């Protein structure tokens, strides 16, 4: 798609309302709910061995899940553990050390890492001494490239003095700050009191330390939220001028996420109000010069994410959109998901089960999946749609040795209905998402998801908008 087309997006509320339904976010394909428990440890070990043979010098991506928070935000759907006992993190680091050792011994030489992300939970729950220990464990087992992209999720309410400096010394150059909404009534309703000046201070400190990309997370659809609160929040956030903004839709699923049961349903905005909030947000961000990357992400034009979009190198992984070339991911910690080659492997989600596996000196894996050729083909199609808004059919056919129209006959039949609604343009050479279809790219991508077509399970996912 041309640079001009990628920069163009049209907000069509009627079209969005018409097609808004539940669907995956496609941080992976197949999605994690398709993973099974069959032979996951051996399958993962075989994948690591194959990597040693086939691509021993290729860079790795690392993810570390740090699950602890000292307060619970009611909207949160992450795998977290609420506690004020910092000593629990010491125990957790003991077990992370065991897991790192079990992984590292599978490599003949120290693996090279070009990307690191600390997520949670709240990584800044850890004390500075605990963070130093964590980085010592990682750097003792992995070789970080000089230009490694190192990012961390920050809770500005829980930031120890000297933490940002410590992380900067260890090469961290990106941060993501949870804000969600700045209105006091909304913050009280979701149990996250975070004055604007606290966030602004952390951003200023990060910039002074050389963090070259700062992301702000916002959510629309929260209790007590309205068009007016969204407009006021955006006015302040845009004054801060973060490099990236993630604008997430709140998914109210209290039957799955216990903290959400503390949110009163009557306080949630109606669908029309929620859609109006999204329109205000999108309009404001585009007017302020942000580039729409895709799904729920925006970035300034000179940010690497926006440049990757234009260059055709944008990627998507478990952390969302990325500038890094597709590479193997080793994920550490409770619930973390790795991908090595064609294999996904997820750790136990329950802390006690994670610990018990490591006490047995075995990798703490609970389930996973070995991708078939069909999975890989569909994964590539979904990636092209979400990252470049189009599939170039001749190129795709050459890459995968298929006849596109034959292989995807049922999908193309459905795609024609999306074309009739104006979401896509279809020709013999390409499927292209239109400017007014870009906010519904997940709907287009879902067309290629064989698992959704064969099993009616969309209700388990959040709404697209």
Instruction: Return phi, psi of residue 440, to 5°.
Output: -115, 30
C-alpha span between 455 and 446 (Å, rounded):
13
pLDDT score at 4: 40
pLDDT tens for each residue of 221-236: 999 999 999 999 999 9
Give yes or no for residue 458 having a pLDDT over 60.
Answer: no
Per-residue pLDDT for 12 more than 90?
Answer: no
Burial of 216 (0-12, 13-18, 19+ CB in 10 A): buried
* Structure confidence by residue, pLDDT tens digits, 203-214: 999 999 999 999
From start to end of 320-386, where are the E strands? 320-322, 328-332, 337-340, 343-347, 365-370
Choose between 313 and 240: higher pLDDT.
240
CA distances from 406 to 383, 413, 415, 458 (A): 20, 11, 14, 26
- Interhelix angle 227-240/196-208, nearest 10 degrees: 20
- pLDDT above 90 (res 158): no
pTM: 0.93
Given a cut of 80, whether residue 7 has pLDDT beyond it is: no
What's the chain's average pLDDT? 92
The 10s digit of each residue's pLDDT in 375-390 is 999 999 999 999 999 9
171 contact partners, CB below 8 Å, separation of at least 6: 144, 148, 150
pLDDT at 327: 87
Structural domains of the chain ordered from first start: 1-30+372-455 (1.10.10.920), 34-172+327-370 (no CATH), 185-288 (3.30.750)
Alpha-carbon distance 435 to 433, whole Å? 7
Asked if the model's pLDDT at residue 426 lies above 80, the reply is yes
For the ranges 2-16, 82-96, 384-398, 445-459, the lowest mean pLDDT is seen at 2-16
Q: Is the pLDDT score of 125 beyond 70?
A: yes
CA separation for the pair 122, 50 (Å, rounded): 34
């Amino acid at each position: 798609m041309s640079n001009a087309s990628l920069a163009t997006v049209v907000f069509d509320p009627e079209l969005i309302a018409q097609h808004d339904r539940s669907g995956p976010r496609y941080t992976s394909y197949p999605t994690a709910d398709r993973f099974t428990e069959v032979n996951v440890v051996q399958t993962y070990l075989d994948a690591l061995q194959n990597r040693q043979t086939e691509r021993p010098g290729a860079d790795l991506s690392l993810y570390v899940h740090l699950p602890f928070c000292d307060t619970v935000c009611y909207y949160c759907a992450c795998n977290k553990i609420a506690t004020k006992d910092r000593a629990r993190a010491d125990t957790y680091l003991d077990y992370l050390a065991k897991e790192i050792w079990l992984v590292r011994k599978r490599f003949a030489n120290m693996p090279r890492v070009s990307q690191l992300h600390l997520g949670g939970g709240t990584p800044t729950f850890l004390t500075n001494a605990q963070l130093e220990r964590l980085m010592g464990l990682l750097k003792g087992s992995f070789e970080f490239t000089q230009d490694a992209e190192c990012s961390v999720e920050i809770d500005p309410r829980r930031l120890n003095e000297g933490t940002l400096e410590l992380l900067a010394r260890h090469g961290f150059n990106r941060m993501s700050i949870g804000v969600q909404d700045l209105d006091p009534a909304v913050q009280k309703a979701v149990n996250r009191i975070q004055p604007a000046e606290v966030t602004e201070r952390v951003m200023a400190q990060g910039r002074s330390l050389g963090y070259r990309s700062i992301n702000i997370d916002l959510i629309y659809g929260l209790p007590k939220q309205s068009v007016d609160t969204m407009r006021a929040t955006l006015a302040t956030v845009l004054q801060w001028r973060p490099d990236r903004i993630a604008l997430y839709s709140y998914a109210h699923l209290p039957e799955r996420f216990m903290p959400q049961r503390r949110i009163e349903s009557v306080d949630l905005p109606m669908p029309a109000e929620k859609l109006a909030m999204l329109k205000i947000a999108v309009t404001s961000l585009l007017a302020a010069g942000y580039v729409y990357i895709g799904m729920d992400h925006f970035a300034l034009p000179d940010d690497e994410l926006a440049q990757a979009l234009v260059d055709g190198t944008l990627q998507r992984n478990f952390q969302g959109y990325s500038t890094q070339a597709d590479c193997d991911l080793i994920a550490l910690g409770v619930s973390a998901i790795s991908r090595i080659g064609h294999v996904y492997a997820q750790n136990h989600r329950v802390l006690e089960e994670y610990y018990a596996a490591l006490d047995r000196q075995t990798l703490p894996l609970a389930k996973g999946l070995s991708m078939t050729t069909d999975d890989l083909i569909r994964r590539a199609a979904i990636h092209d749609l979400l990252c470049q808004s189009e599939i170039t059919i001749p190129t795709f056919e050459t890459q995968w040795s298929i006849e596109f129209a034959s292989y995807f006959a049922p999908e193309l039949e459905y795609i024609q209905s999306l074309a009739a609604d104006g979401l896509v343009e279809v020709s013999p050479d390409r499927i292209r998402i239109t400017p007014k279809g870009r906010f519904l790219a997940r709907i287009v991508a879902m067309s290629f998801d064989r698992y959704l077509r064969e099993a009616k399970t969309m209700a388990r996912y959040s709404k697209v908008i």
